[in-house]
Amino acid sequence: MRHYYYKKSHEKLPHIIKFSGGRSSGFMLFDMLKNGMLDKNRGDFVLFNNTSAEHSKTYEFVMKCKKECEQKYQIPFFIIEFQTYEDAKAGIYDRFGGYRLVNDKPFSTKNPFGYRYNGEVFEELLSWQLFVPNQMNRICTQNLKMKTSRQFIIDWFFGDKNIPRLGHFDDVSLINKDDLYAKHIKNGGGVPKDIYFKKKEFVLNCPLVRQKQNYQDFTSVDLSYRKEIKGDEYLTFIGFRSDEPARITKMKDRIAKNDPKSAIYNEEINLIKFPYLKDGCEHVYMPMIKFEITKQDVFEFWEKQSFDLGLSYDGIYGNCVYCFMKGTKKLLDIKSNSKIKSPENIDWWIQMEQKYQRDLVAEKRQAKKSGAKFVNFFGESSKVSYEKIKSGSVGNEDAISLPCHCSD
């Protein structure tokens, strides 16, 4: 896979690899590295967004990729996580969305900046938003991946050697619960107060601030060159393969629906341009589509490497282990790890669904589908839930199969 550019001038722009943690994006990353397509002095880096709901083997794979990328090729590889913080807006203290940098070791009391792997990041989002994502409202992709990536990129190109501290400067929470609930009602919310604060409990007990963090503490690559980097225009690379037409179709449909004025899609070269008004311009490249890279090519590549993901090639365990976007046919085939309480166990997803799904009756919301009482990970449905998937009571007529579109 050789490089290509929509414009010759793009060759000089910083390159960002959006690494999903899977074999395809790993293929793209190492192919570009081995062909000298990445240059740290241009501002290039690799970015992995941790949802805390990945398979344990995915984390092992990501850390091996990070180590080789940094030690052998000297390209910084950053891992970030969604994180809220407490601050005031319009005189009312609330929680706001941000991110934090994490290192390549698991989180613990001795390693507070380690990556989380027991669903904590995912639950913080659900508690913050008061509902679970579904196919029509993918708050997980939007907040855990897209928004956090954008925030990090802005900080990297327009900030200092640190990401700044976020949050107030008191050592206790300043949130007034009456004011917070009044804000919820004013903004059109209808969750009863007792249910509202039961759902909010997790996020209200999260750290009050996002600490200032030095980039150098999260990569083994010497970053002394970085003061010369400017990135008001840059390229991002996504590992969509040519035999995944549904993924690019999904991205095109999302652009047509949500970004008709802020995004331009070039059908001929599979390039997307996001001309942000304030922060510069992002050009999204998908080289594996351009050069017709398929699953077989990826398989043959990893067969020759010294390490691999260690999961099956059917994608059943990729991304968040029990992601609803995989479709119930795949979810029914996943073997839950009964020994641990984490997103590798379907019981964790059952707990999240029951705790954070929308109760249409309690919230006095009108159901669109007859008999529906909740809005869960599968939408407004009385036929499909994680509990029913576990029990095997989801019939074939209700089982659907979807390609995962998490990285768009």
Q: Which string of DSSP letters, residue by residue, matches 210-274? A: B--EEGGGG-SS--GGGGG---SEEEEE----TT-HHHHHHHHHHHHHH-TTT-EEETTTTEEEE
Q: Supply the DSSP symbol for 43.
A: T
Q: In DSSP terms, which residues pair with 18 in a beta bridge? A: 47
Instruction: Say what the pLDDT of residue 340 is.
Output: 80
**Mean pLDDT within 297-314:** 94
Residue 376 has pLDDT above 90, yes or no: yes
Instruction: Say what the pLDDT of residue 135 is.
Output: 86
Instruction: Give the pLDDT band (50/70/90) at residue 277.
Output: very low
Residue 263 has pLDDT above 70, yes or no: no
Distance, in Å, from the CA atom of 127 to the CA atom of 164, rounded to the nearest integer, reads 24
**Mean pLDDT within 289-306:** 93
Locate 331 and state its tokens: 């979810």
* HSE toward the beta carbon, residue 397, CA cutoff 13 A: 1
* % of the chain with per-residue pLDDT over 70: 88
Residue 320 has pLDDT above 90, yes or no: yes
Instruction: Say what the pLDDT of residue 151 is.
Output: 93
**Mean pLDDT within 24-32:** 96
Instruction: Say what the pLDDT of residue 373 is.
Output: 86
Q: In DSSP terms, which residues pair with 214 in a beta bridge? A: 162
91-145 pLDDT per residue, tens: 999 999 999 999 999 999 999 999 999 999 999 999 999 999 998 899 999 999 9
Instruction: Say what the pLDDT of residue 408 is.
Output: 45
Q: Supply the DSSP symbol for 134.
A: B
Q: Among 119, 144, 121, 58, which Cα is nearest to 340's?
A: 119
What is the average pLDDT score of the chain?
88
Instruction: Give the pLDDT band (50/70/90) at residue 264.
Output: low
Q: Among 21, 17, 19, 18, which Cα is nearest to 318's?
A: 21
Instruction: Give the pLDDT band (50/70/90) at residue 393.
Output: confident
Q: Supply the DSSP symbol for 79.
A: E
Instruction: Say what the pLDDT of residue 20 is.
Output: 95
Q: Which residues of 124-151 are buried (b: 16+ CB within 10 A; e: fewer)?
A: bbbbbbbbbbbeeebbbbebbbbbbbeb
Locate 259 and state its tokens: 């970004």
How many distinct helices (H) and strands (E) make up the chain? Answer: 13, 13
* Higher per-residue pLDDT: 284 or 43: 43
With the CA atoms of 339, 343, 346 and 347 taken in that order, what torsion angle do they form, in degrees rounded to the nearest 10?
A: 70
152-204 pLDDT per residue, tens: 998 998 878 899 999 999 999 999 999 999 999 999 898 999 999 999 999 99
